[in-house]
Amino acid sequence: MPLRTIILGSCLLLACDTAESPHCPLGSAELQPGVCTATPKAGGVVVRVNSVGFLPGTPKQATYAGPASTFVIRRADGGKKPEDDPVVFPDMPGDVGPALSASDSGEPEVHVVDFSDLNVPGEYYVAVDGVGTSEHFRIGSDVFVEPFHAAMLGMYGWRCGTAVSFDWQDQTFAHGACHLHDDPALGGWHDAGDYGKYTNNGSFALGMMLLAWDHFRDRLEDVVLAVPEQDNGIPDYLDECSYQLGWLLGMQYDDGSVSDRLTAANFDPLTTMPEASTALRSMSSASTKATADFAAVAAHAARVFREFDPDLAQRAEGAAVKAWQFLLANTAPIQPPASGFTGSYSGDSDLDDRFWAAAEIFETTGDKDALAAFENASKTFNVAANWDWDNVANLGIFTYLASTQDGRDDAVVTRLTLALENSAANLAMTAETHPYGRSLGAYYNWGVNGTIARTTLVFVTASRVDPDNSRRYLDAASTQLGHLFGRNYYGRSFMTGVGAKPPLHPHHRPSIADSVEQPWPGLLVGGPSKSDPAPATVWQDDSADYTSNEVAINWNAPLIYALAAFQPTP
């Protein structure tokens, strides 16, 4: 998802009864391209809920726009009419929550339906008297298993330098071996809806997936994934991580610096399959931002792979140290090339990247100079709520606070722990008060769905250092998954192939160019962007709209982390 010119549309809200549209909320209609009805059609699904489902013991809420009413939860028994399905909760119709205003979606009155006390496994839906019903959802311990596997297939489908083939919901998705002239940096994941490969974003995405392994190894170690490396003695989850790591190691130059990106000069047409992308590609010159992110994730990977692939771990550690030494010798920022390549992950300083690198180098090697560099720089960083590739400091803080090395400054540990707890508490409060459970409230950015998923890293990491509030933070994390899977203005899942009415037209070249009607599964679209009076309303399920419907590895990776947090424990 490299930076591009942003062009936003908007959806005017008018009353009409026309055909339902993929551009508009569930139950509403489209007058003309980009113009939606405000009032849902009779019988439309207007109660917005996490259509994937809920774990027992976690918050369970739905949201609708309209007047106050009462609700019941019905078991989905397949009755011809909703009233034929049995009511399971509550004993008598329950009152919905008080009227709220959803400023970011322009809805003057919305209500929250809370059914958190329903924990019996089964398939259900919400029925609000005089308003309508929700999509069906499940309650069970395994509700996030399928989405997790889909998200991992999303990463596998992004593999470059090899043929890819897998099945999902009785459909085969495949592309041929591609970009075989990327030597010496073969492999890795395509970055987004295009075929470029970027060290900054590629390291960032891998770093979040490695953190998921650190936190949830017990839930991931025995998971069987549809990857070619099955039964090689390495957990399948780490096989996917290893594929990206191998590419990153090929991006390092002899002096320790690291190429900023590997792309062609121009983007391929949208109708280009990976194997048909034959434009000349090359490695760019190095940047200190890329070098620092590489040093960080290679050091982290060295720790993870020591047990499973000692040779790879040793190679990664050596490369990380070499990159770190280059950074020490080159304290002034080295910017990436300004032309000749597609996209750019640039425009900010490299201080946050060096900060992350210092933490990972210290944790892997015990280097006290790296520790000093981190602690000296820590005064300028806090735990960010909305963070992305342009501010990776959180990853450094998470590693530092969980460090097993000796020598940390107690005062720095205390300050950063409090910063983490404060950030998590503020995000949780926002999620608890926003009508759609968004941890970011009315904040929007390009790729905001990935940013929302990324708040789960803050929640879960805080739960590990603040046990008194652990339940609150984990509940807030599960609520973010609910928002992404349907409790949103559109009442739709934002992940291809999963949940109710998922995106059908992502800005993703293989989904556009292949002969399969359905898009490639397991991809989180960016979601509604900013620069609109009602920013929640500007998402379009349109492959041409890269500002709101592109997909990217730095959005999938935190979603994988969030889903890993709620996988069944052995």
Q: Using alpha carbons, select from 49, 53, 133 the residue that is nearest to residue 87.
A: 133
The owner of tokens 């008598």 is 92
- CA pair distance 202, 209, nearest whole angstrom: 11
Q: Euclidean distance between the first and final Cα of the chain, in Å?
A: 36
The owner of tokens 């979601």 is 527
Amino acid at 448: V
Specify the 3-state DSSP secondary structure of 120. Answer: coil
- CA pair distance 565, 570, nearest whole angstrom: 13
> How many helices (H) and strands (E) would you count in the chain?
14, 18
Amino acid at 366: G
Compute, in degrees rounded to 10, the torsion defined by CA atoms 69, 73, 76, 79: -50
533's CB contacts (< 8 A; 6+ apart) are 106
Task: Tell me, letter by letter, the H, E, C secondary structure of 332-362.
Answer: CCCCCCCCCCCCCCCCCCCHHHHHHHHHHHH
The one-character DSSP state at 282 is: E
- Annotated catalytic sites, by residue? 194, 507, 541, 550
Report whether 51 contacts 30 (CB < 8 A): no
Q: Using alpha carbons, select from 117, 190, 144 the residue that is nearest to residue 52.
A: 144
Report whether 405 contacts 362 (CB < 8 A): yes
For residue 296, the surrounding DSSP H or E stretch is helix 288-305
Q: Using alpha carbons, select from 520, 564, 557, 510 the residue that is nearest to residue 169.
A: 520
The tokens for 25 are 């909320």
Instruction: Tell how strand 107-114 and strand 100-102 pair up.
Output: antiparallel
Specify the 3-state DSSP secondary structure of 379. Answer: helix
Length of the chain: 570
The tokens for 402 are 């969980």
268's CB contacts (< 8 A; 6+ apart) are 194, 195, 276, 277, 279, 509
- CA pair distance 286, 335, nearest whole angstrom: 8
Q: Quick one: how far is CA 15 from the chain centroid?
A: 34
Report, in angstroms and rounded to the nearest whole number, the Rg of the chain calculated over CA atoms. Answer: 23
- CA pair distance 240, 153, nearest whole angstrom: 10
Here the contacts of 369-372 (C-beta below 8 Å, separation 24 or greater) are 370/324, 371/405, 371/407, 371/408
Instruction: Tell how strand 53-54 and strand 137-139 pair up.
Output: parallel
- CA pair distance 94, 89, nearest whole angstrom: 8
- CA pair distance 37, 27, nearest whole angstrom: 9
- CA pair distance 450, 243, nearest whole angstrom: 22
